[in-house]
Amino acid sequence: MTRVLYIGGSGEISFACVEAAVRAGQQVTVFNRGIRGEKLPPEVERVSGDLNDDAAYGGLASRGFDTVCQFVGFHTDTVSRDIDAFAGRCGQYLFVSSASAYRKPWHSGTITETTPLDNPFWEYSRMKAACESLLLEAHAAGRLPVTIVRPSHTYRTRLPGACIPGDHTAWRMLNDKPIVVHDDGRSLWTLTHADDFARAFVKLCGNQQALGEAFHITCDASRSWNEIVDLVGKALAHPPRVVHAPTDRLIEYSEHWLGPLKGDKSNSLVFDNSKVREAAGGWRCEIGLEAGLENAATITLNRLADGYTPDERLDALIDRIVADCGASY
């Protein structure tokens, strides 16, 4: 039985991976603070602890897991500590990076794993790329057997949003407030259900073919943001009112949008998944976008009914943008 440690395990993607790992017969341990998230399967060993507690972290490393899955590594300091902690103590270190690290702007067709990692617009993406570089150096030096996984936009319980989070998008739609979509809404975007992602992910755990390699795991199909917004409205049974605004203009309102839009969503992104398909035994996505969004909408409506309120400053900014741009875009 493969013994797998998840560092994280309660997030939108990692929780689905934990469930899939249990179904695949893997022996799963989850290490996190244990203060949020859904209830883990009963087969999972949960170790609560602070990720910054070196003693607790070192104790886990000494247990000699077959695979260590790092879902909450966002800085090179974390990765450097992981290299020191797990070198010689695990059979595989699987780092969850981000497909946003690929080169932007992107106008060159389908993205493969050989596409350069070069995103000047988003520090988050650059940090993920820097973490990858450190890990692959450690792999090449024989210190740590590494596999890199790059998710793109992966959803499960949360609806996608163009310029604001999905819960906020749903709240505005349901309250008949316009939402803002960047540019003309025609850029292509790839949405992957976390359960589909997880089925490929667990097949990379303990997979010798995956060592020293990087894989993105995404749906093959892409939709325009206009289509995505319409499908979200359909899932909520509430057609959206949409205002389009140029990405560069949105960034003038808030630098917050530089990375997520200029460095990601404003680019048409279509992925070639042939590499992970080969490594994961012919894997393909099975959950259609309409069905996935309907389920996410049900969960979102429950969260909103529990007393959700949007970020007041962000909502006021969206109102301002709608007022400024609504007449001309």
Per-residue pLDDT of the chain (329 residues; tens, 9 = 90+): 789 999 987 889 999 999 999 999 999 999 987 656 568 899 999 998 877 888 878 888 889 999 999 999 899 999 999 999 999 999 999 999 999 999 999 888 899 999 999 999 999 999 999 999 999 999 999 999 999 999 999 999 999 999 999 999 999 999 999 999 999 999 999 999 999 999 999 999 999 999 999 999 999 999 999 999 999 999 999 999 999 999 999 999 999 999 999 999 999 999 999 999 999 999 999 999 999 999 999 999 999 999 999 999 999 999 999 999 865 44
pTM: 0.95
pLDDT of residue 58: 81
pLDDT of residue 1: 74
Q: Would you call the peptide bond into 105 cis, given omega within 30 degrees of 0 as the criterion?
A: yes
Question: At what angle are helices 289-305 and 225-235 packed, to 10 degrees?
Answer: 60
Question: Of 227, 230, 232, 224, which Cα lies nearest the Cα of 301?
Answer: 232
pLDDT of residue 285: 97
Find out whether 29 and 5 touch, Cβ atoms under 8 Å: yes
Find out whether 103 and 126 touch, Cβ atoms under 8 Å: no
